[in-house]
Chain A
Amino acid sequence: MSDTLTPTSSLLKIQRSTFSPFFSLGGVVAISIFFTLAPWMLAASWVSILSNFFILVIMATMWNLLAGYAGMISIGQQGFVGMGAYATLYFALKGMNPFVAIPFAALACGVIAIPITFLLLRLRGGYFSVATWVVADSAMLLVLSVAYLGGGTGKYMPGLLTLPSTQLNHDVYLATWIGAFVVLLGTYLLLRSRVGLLLSSMRDNEVAARSAGAKVTSTRRMIYVVVAIGCGVAGGVLSVSQPFVQPGNEFQLQFAAEMLFATMIGGLGTIEGPILGSIIFFALQQSLQNWGVWYLVIFGSLAVAISIWQPEGLWGAIRNRFHVELLPVGYRVKEPRA
């Protein structure tokens, strides 16, 4: 996991990770084994909370890739969540196993996103944001008028009722966990690649990046499509975890709020941030569950306060204070110890 480059004529050392790579890799493997075995070790209520947690992790990670790395603030990603859910439903109605349909549904979202980028990427800043919202709204209204997909009332995901309920819960959990793992791993590898370097250069100075030959628009387009696929995964696993698929449920604006708040609180532009933000969201939601919608008020106020006074988020604060990175994507220069 680490590439250690040693410049020839200097005592400075350049390395990726703060920890020994075996340590990081071992940690990731241990956590992966734990989450894979979780349904056999934890109570059923915890398993369903974890499922919802992983769905939020997927959405927040994708939103972070879009806003924190590619500089596009979207408030319309719930559109792709909804499309992912409905594409899964469509494939399932055609006779496919819903779990098998999820990756195909996600890819379908990516295909749909390509023409949309040609409209949206002409816009900047707030224009882009509201236009993404209009696109999501239109997608919902279009789905609403298709009777085959249940119209406004919704439709039950076929092929799930025949499964025994414990097996269904396990399968749903594994789908959300694998979805989150794949999305996180993909994001991590993408940001470590050449594209990650391109994105940081665009984020720091777009004009300079352009003049140095960075293909800014096509990189943005690629990221938008990747994020659409990721949100499609979130929608697919959502549609099996809450198998009554309904437009108001799958396309809700609250998803946009949750992914945005989780990312802002955790730390925009860091891989760890959205995960930390999602943990805080679920901690708040569980501890305030008897208080109705107040958790969203508190969570939102926290996000607003953090974006004004601590724009790097909690993970940014931790990273700057302790100089640690759990999932490093950049390089750091290390001075030799005296």
Chain B
Amino acid sequence: MTLLNILVEGTLIGGFYALFACGLSLMFGVMKVINLAHGDMAVVAGYVAVFLAPKWHVAEIWSFLIVVPLFAILGYVVQRTLLQKSIDRDPFTTLLVTFGLSVIIENLLLAVYSANGQSVNIGSLVSKSFQLNSSTYVSYVALTVLGVAVLVLGALQVFLSRTNTGRVIRAVSDDREAAQLCGANYKHLFGIAAAISFATVALAGISYGMMTEFVPTSGGANLLFAFEAVVIGGIGSLWGTLVGGIALGIAQQWGAHINPAYQILFGNFLFLIVLAIRPQGLFGRKEAMA
């Protein structure tokens, strides 16, 4: 039953990719910014959970309760200062600035915490799993992360379509000038979108730390997977991101099944094939492409 194995493993890891990717997708959808430091923010959240949370007398397993709000504030502040300044210049500058931030963060973490692997300590829970059939096990942690991903995506969907702030955010992302004429303060709304993005990526970073070890340079690879999930699913579609993440996860597991060295390669190939034959992604609209 290797097929079942591939599908289950792929779906579980795909949920994590979607959780990682939704903030990236939101920031791109709202302010046309691809935050190249997105993956590194997740790693920073992991380090905060491992090194700082215990100092504030918070168990690592509950660290997300303080790290997530902290990152929301951080996101708002970074957006209103550094990112807004570069958006005001041009999209070119935004890419350079976020890539610069990514390299700075990685090397700061290397300098302060060394290249040793870290993980978020959740006790014996990390190895608990239940059995589907003779060869397929489902880890509780990975299943929880998938559940959290679905919850977060659902909550984001409700926020964007039902609440007043959500509607104004969508209005700004559709036509910034018209929304401004109607009284929307787009800089504040950009800040809120960044706050949500940073909060979700903090959650993703801590989940990652619970599932596996991370090092200062883990951010780059995860950014690639998140970006691939967004593009495969289609820009501007939150549920598309979930499907894209799961498709990416299954492709990777399929590659790993053929040869462990092909795991990431198969994911990359799926991404490149989608780009070649359907650049707007599975659920994307063509006009959403930048």
Binds A, one of B53-61, B158-166, B263-271: B263-271
Interface centre among A71, A129, A145 (most CB of B within 10 A): A129
A161: interface (CB < 8 Å): no
Alpha-carbon separation in the docked complex, A142 to B264 (Å): 10
Q: How far is the CA of A195 from the CA of B183 in the complex (A)?
A: 46
The residue in chain B whose Cβ has the minimal distance to the Cβ of A126 is B34
A-contact bits for B241-283, CB 8 A (1 contact / 0 none)? 0000000000000000001011011001101100110010000
Would B220 and A308 count as touching, CB distance under 8 A?
Answer: no
Nearest A residue to B28, CB-CB: A126
How many residues on chain A are close to B (CB under 8 Å)?
A: 40
- Could you tell me if B91 and A126 are in contact, using CB atoms closer than 8 angstroms? yes
Shortest Cβ distance from A233 into chain B, in angstroms? Answer: 24
Q: By the criterion CB–CB under 8 Å, are A127 and B224 in contact?
A: no
Interface residues of A in 255-290 (CB under 8 A from B): 257, 260-261, 264
The chain B residue with its CB closest to the CB of A309 is B85
Interface size on B, residues (CB 8 A): 43
Name the B residues within 8 Å of A75 (CB-CB). 36, 99
Report the bound CA distance from A133 to B34 in whole Å: 13
Does B224 contact A73, Cβ atoms closer than 8 Å?
no
CA A308 to CA B34, docked complex, whole Å: 17
In chain A, positions 124-140 with a C-beta closer than 8 Å to chain B are 124-127, 129-131, 133-135, 137-138
Q: CB distance B91 to A253 under 8 Å?
A: no
CB distance from B241 to the nearest CB of A (A): 15
Is A209's beta carbon under 8 Å from chain B? no
Which residues of A lie under 8 Å from residue B104 when comparing CB positions? 296-297, 300-301, 304
* CB pair B261 A145 closer than 8 Å: yes
The number of A-B residue pairs with CB atoms under 8 Å apart is 120
Given contacts A134-B224, A261-B100, are A292 and B93 in contact (CB under 8 A)?
Answer: no
Which residues of chain B have C-beta atoms less than 8 A from A304's C-beta?
A: 82, 96-97, 100-101, 104
Which of A134, A141, A292 has a CB less than 8 Å from the CB of B272?
A134
Task: Tell me, rounded to whole Å, the shortest Cβ–Cβ distance linking A42 to chain B.
Answer: 30
B125 within 8 A of A: no
B265, A142: Cβ atoms closer than 8 Å = yes
Q: With A and B bound together, what is the CA distance between A336 and B290 in angstroms?
A: 47
Q: Nearest CB to that of B101 among chain A residues?
A: A304
Cβ of B289 < 8 Å from any Cβ of A? Answer: yes
A125 to B104, CA, bound (A): 22
Say which residue of A144, A253, A301, A308 sits within 8 Å of B93 (CB atoms): A308
CB neighbours of A126 from chain B (8 A): 28, 33-34, 36, 91, 95, 290
Least Cβ distance of A30 to chain B in Å? 35
Query: Which residue of the partner chain, among A123, A145, A301, contacts B262 with CB atoms under 8 Å?
Result: A145
Stretch at the interface among B107-115, B128-136, B203-211: B107-115
For the complex, give the distance between the alpha carbons of A299 and B89 in Å.
21
Inter-chain contact A73/B96, CB cutoff 8 Å: yes
Complex contact A138–B265 (CB within 8 A): yes
Top 7 A-B residue pairs of the complex, sorted by shortest distance between their CB atoms: A126-B34, A304-B100, A300-B104, A293-B107, A138-B268, A141-B265, A257-B103
23 A-B residue pairs with Cβ-Cβ distance under 8 Å, sorted by A, are: A71-B92, A73-B96, A75-B99, A125-B34, A127-B34, A127-B289, A129-B99, A130-B227, A133-B224, A141-B264, A142-B265, A257-B99, A260-B96, A292-B110, A293-B111, A296-B104, A301-B100, A303-B96, A304-B101, A308-B82, A308-B93, A311-B89, A311-B93
